[in-house]
Structure 1
């Protein structure tokens, strides 16, 4: 099992304990050794997962004491997308990604080596093959964006990408759940094609189009949910009137 895969499993487990209310704000979570036994991954994977959640101000490490769930008022704004999704919040993330992804791909083309592009190409082939295995597909999607971020050779972009990557992946999980992976496969392929041609303008356009498509899909999903909610409320009102 790759360290990224093991870290994702540990990350998902910890987040689920917080989402479910088993670990509440201010609670001390299980120790690293206990999590190794519970989750069944290495201590390095546990530490990576904890560090990601500390960076997002969801967990807090107290020297000599342990790791605690952060108080809600101290959590970062990004924690909202992890501990409880909201369509409006997802739209804000997508607006950020529209700018972030489109610029990253331009910088990647400027600085990437042939080996970087080969790695991206290999990753895309694996993504297409994993389209029916959403867990594997999510992980490969994460790797695709990691390769681009690292290929920019910009420490700030790499650091921001590392901090936000789990948020981005959770964001994509919600979208893929509603729309499937087909759109992602299409636009990742278009972006890759433009990268191979060393065409930053076209690659940037497709990166923006990919996010715009996600925004459109999410907005449609939001409207459908609202319509369904209005219909359900109307039925409740009718039933109440018939009592």
Structure 2
């Protein structure tokens, strides 16, 4: 079942449609927040939220004292504008499907990260891992740090598309990270496999890093599949 769209999501779609059908052309100034609020019959705050999201995705640009403008379109902008529409169609309870998507993305990004990582990436991943180890008895915190670890891997790919897609999907992934959290005790197994992933990335062993990431997410998929069949 499709989720009901929030006002800001409706505005996002309407703005997206105006850009994609050419009503608002690249480099052109869009209508004001007040004008859009009246046009779409929503509160101004909903318009602002939609615009801020599009600015974050490099679809729109706000110029001080001038207003908000459509940025010059390029493949990454078209990609950015497509993904949120897909997300709006997703049932947030489709945990297995979300994890299958995450596995497909993260195995590839882990391999690239191991190949391209620099000292800054290693420092960031190591710092997150150490925090995971310190919070092994705090399941909620551990799950959040787990998501941060995956995000840092995407950043380490140095691939703009991987980074953008992960940023867009981050909230969705984190929501499901909570559902796959280990409720039968401390997630010692997850901590160990994250250490193996980290070590492989440090050693630039692309194959081993990808293997351990796939093993990690396949294990999560198997746990969720069992739960959802109960």
Normalised TM-score (structure 2): 0.61
Deviations 1:119-155, CA, capped at 9 Å, x for gaps: 2111101011122333432332232122211111111
In structure 1, runs of 5+ residues without a counterpart are 1-18, 33-45, 56-62, 65-74, 225-243
TM-score, structure 1 normalization: 0.58
Q: Residues 24, 157 of structure 1: CA spacing in aligned structure 2 closer, same or farther, 3 A cutoff?
A: closer
1:174 pairs with 2:179: yes
Write out per-residue CA displacement over residues 176-205 of structure 1, whole angstroms, 9 at most, x where no aligned residue: 165666143232122112112221111100
Offset from partner CA, 1:149-187 (integer Å, 9 cap, x none): 111111111111110111111111111165666143232
How far residue 80 of structure 1 moved from its aligned partner, in angstroms, is 5.8
Please report the RMSD computed on the Cα atoms of aligned residues, expressed in angstroms: 3.5
Assess, with a 3 A threshold, how the Cα gap between structure 1 residues 80 and 186 changes in structure 2: closer, same or farther.
farther
- 1:11-46 per-position Cα deviation (integer Å, ceiling 9, x unaligned): xxxxxxxx89997986846838xxxxxxxxxxxxx9
Point out the structure with the larger helix share.
1
Gaps of 5+ in 2: 11-40, 58-66, 69-83
In the alignment, what sits opposite 2:224? 218
Q: CA–CA distance in 1 between the matches of 2:186 and 2:170?
A: 18
- Deviation string 1:67-104 (CA, Å, 9 cap, x unpaired) is xxxxxxxx8443466xx543xx2211111222211111
Query: Mapping of 1:1-243 within 5 angstroms?
Result: 28=42, 31=45, 51=53, 76-79=85-88, 85-86=92-93, 89-176=94-181, 182=187, 183-224=189-230
